[in-house]
A and B are shown apart, each in its own frame.
Chain A
Amino acid sequence: MYKLFLCLRYLRSRVIAVVAILTVALCVAMMVIVVSVMNGFLNKIELAAKGLFGDIVIEAPSHQGITSYDKLIETIRNDVPDVQAASPFILSYGVLQIPYQTHIRVWVQVAGIRLPGRAAVSDFEKGLFIQKGFAEPSFDPNMALMLRRISEEAAKSNEIFRRESSALSAKTDPDRRLEAEELLGRLQTAMHYQTEGEDNLRAAADNARELERLVAQLDKAHESGAGDEVIARLQRQIEDVQSRTYEPPENRVILGLGIPGLSIRTEAGETVRYIVPGSKVVLNVIPLGRGISPTGVTPNTRKFSVVDDCRTDVWSIDSEIVYVPFKTLQVLNNMDQPDRCSQIHIKVKDGLADERHLREVSRKVHAAWLRFRKADANAPENLSIQTWRERQKAVIAPLESQRTLVAIIVGILSLVSIAVILLIFHMIVFQKTREIGVLKAVGASSGGVATIFLSYAAAVGLIGAAIGVVGGWYFVHQINPIHDWCAHRLGLEVWSRKVYMFEMIPNTVSPLDAAVIAIGAVVAAVIGAGYPAWQASRLQPVEALRYE
């Protein structure tokens, strides 16, 4: 009886219990935060290294590309049952022009992808704006869906605009005021472009008819030998309408959301898009497939309608890559005649994604290609077939040493946490040695005394660990708003998006990690309290009483 009674009494009436709970909570929270962010960080880096590639990458040694890729894919899929999906891929370079105030020109990488095949080899669809999570995304998304998303985006922008304008009057610092006013201006521009995109989509049919009519007029004007003035006027009109038309599916583009000039970020971490579906952009592609000749660098230019945007959370990908239909890029990159692609991405079946299995599958793919080369005269001559880790060795090697470094840091931190918890419980029980003597003098058994302090430590440990896990989880969950706040108010920007390649600080907590940390804390508490309690309970009562 007295065990439970005293345990509860110690918990209730001691400042030290609160201190101990807070100590455990802080240690646990610290560990949860460090482990979550570090692990999340490393996982993201790995994700960044994997980038857009599939599990296994087939690549041509030169920009000339891979011929007969569809037949090769078919052979691989037939011969290697471990392969889940494979999709051809073209990567080239170009300049993107965005119609923002004056045209912005951005240097981008242009990816030619097949939809929905791309979604089968990567997580591409997960980060889409319009077609988020669609199993079969395409370059021709549902019109009603696009309009709905645009109006949602407009409503969001409107709300932010209202919020920021009402906050404006409260800002007295002239610098801050100026900043806020600038943001309001940019929000207004964003809303203008959102409306424009929406109008382009809504008027798609009218614009197409109008364009047809004008082109027919122009033809007629040419035939009838109309004056230059008339022809120039018609051409201007055509150009104007063309800037608004909704292009056919082959001339549509999905943009990386992080491309500069495409969106703004508010202080609160919201993303507001300038460019929404329906907006038009111009893409100049450097035709890498053309081969070496003096004229080899004249870019191929085409107008595209935006239909979606994509966010992988890897900054180096989101800020640089635009996606266009595979066939279109084949033409713009001069990889047609004969048809070629620059890479083939392969996804393996579930459960084979670890490096050992991947290498095995990649050997089988290699064998399949060798057989294919023997059988087909047009087969590509030289190919490199690598797992994504092999391909990114140069990037990943330093990562592995970073992982070791992180493991050491986490190890030291956990030792420190455990030592702190051990120590505080040791002290709590140690200073109660005399009370233990009293309890023994009135007949409490050694086991009974030990039980009091063990259950006390377990209770304090559990409460502290629970608070710590919840607190740590909440902090990690809110880490981006917290960081934004710090960056803005205190000028303390720890996380540079450009340096770390990711849009956000990793903010997920693995339940397993949290559980291990919490259990570790409780065990440390019990051991820390248990050792002195056990020692004191073994003393003769009078020895414990004599303790000063």
Chain B
Amino acid sequence: MSEPAVRVRDLHKSYRLGRVELKVLRGVSVTVRAGEFVGIVGASGSGKSTLLHLVGLLDKPDKGQIVLDGVEAGRLSRRKRDRIRCRHVGFVFQFYHLLPELNVLENAMLPAKVDSSVLGWFSRRAAARKRAAEILDRLGLAERLKHRPKELSGGERQRVAIARALINAPRILLADEPTGNLDSKTGSQILDVLRQYHAETSQTIVMVTHDQALAGAADRVLHIRDGRVGER
């Protein structure tokens, strides 16, 4: 049997809020197989975003193991973690987090740029451009390549963010409340985009949401409550 895409063991994470220590995760264990679309549902404050951040190496756990494709992330150097974030993980945020100075195409290509040296970029630019244009086209943004984020609607922005997350063909796509900032119609369109992409490419996707109905789009739904995950 091949290595699971994500294997999380006994993850703990707490935050300090003033004098109070807030235990967000208290021993979470999750496994996601390659090619799976997993939905994680939980109320706000249940620690689902924290879990996703830890899996995406955007933060460090207090305790526990994160294994991505058989590689134990906790033991990696800063540099290697940067590289995994860049190449193997795509992250979609609730608030899009696009760079306002860049247009749609440039935003989508940013991870490819980050991954290249100045010289390397020259040999890679054409291919990256083609791939970005392709993905954006597939997401229905072919007409918007030269627009700045502020000229786009919320749904369009989120689609740009998805394109950015996919540009380097990551092993795992992590989506943190991707529809949380959108109206329900646009939200379900975004969900369709994810589901369709998953169907066509068997992209491994982990999506967290507080909305049970949205999670229904996933192959498998996990619940997070009081800092622990259960399959129910």
Contacts and interface: CB of A to CB of B under 8 A. Distances in A.
Contacts, number: 73
Interface in B28-67: 53, 56, 58-60
B58 A542 contact: yes
A445 interface: yes
Contacts of B111: 442-443
A545 B97 contact: yes
B87 interface: yes
Given A2-B110, A541-B58, A435 B99 contact: yes
B58 A540 contact: yes
Given A541-B59, A543-B59, A1 B120 contact: yes
Contacts of A444: 82, 86, 114
Contact of A445 (B78, B87, B93, B97): B78
Interface in B115-141: 115-118, 120-121
Given A5-B113, A543-B59, A443 B86 contact: yes
Contacts of A2: 110, 113-114
Interface in A1-22: 1-2, 4-6, 9-10, 13-14
B19 interface: no
Of the listed residues A4, A434, A442, A540, the one surrounded by the most CB atoms of chain B closer than 10 A to its CB is A442
Interface string A472-497: 00000000000000000000000000
A441 B110 contact: no
Given A1-B120, A441-B91, A542 B114 contact: no
Contact of A545 (B93, B102, B110): B93
A437 interface: yes
Given A9-B102, A545-B97, A1 B86 contact: no
A541 B82 CA distance: 10
B164 interface: yes
Contacts of A448: 114
A439 B85 contact: no
B143 interface: no
B101 A10 contact: yes
A438 B97 contact: yes
Given A442-B86, A443-B111, A540 B117 contact: no
B123 to A, nearest CB: 11
Interface in A437-459: 437-446, 448
Interface in B171-188: none
A9 B114 contact: no
A20 to B, nearest CB: 15
A14 B118 contact: no
B150 interface: no
Contact of B99 (A438, A440, A446): A438
A10 B101 CA distance: 7
A441 B85 contact: yes
B58 A1 contact: no
B79 interface: yes
Contacts of A445: 78-79, 82
Interface in A403-460: 434-435, 437-446, 448
Contacts of B56: 441
Given A2-B114, A441-B58, A443-B83, 7 more contacts: A2-B113, A9-B102, A435-B99, A441-B97, A444-B86, A445-B78, A545-B97
9 contacts: A1-B121, A2-B113, A10-B101, A441-B97, A443-B83, A443-B114, A446-B78, A448-B114, A541-B59
Pick the 5 closest A-B CB pairs, nearest first: A443-B86, A1-B121, A2-B113, A542-B58, A541-B58
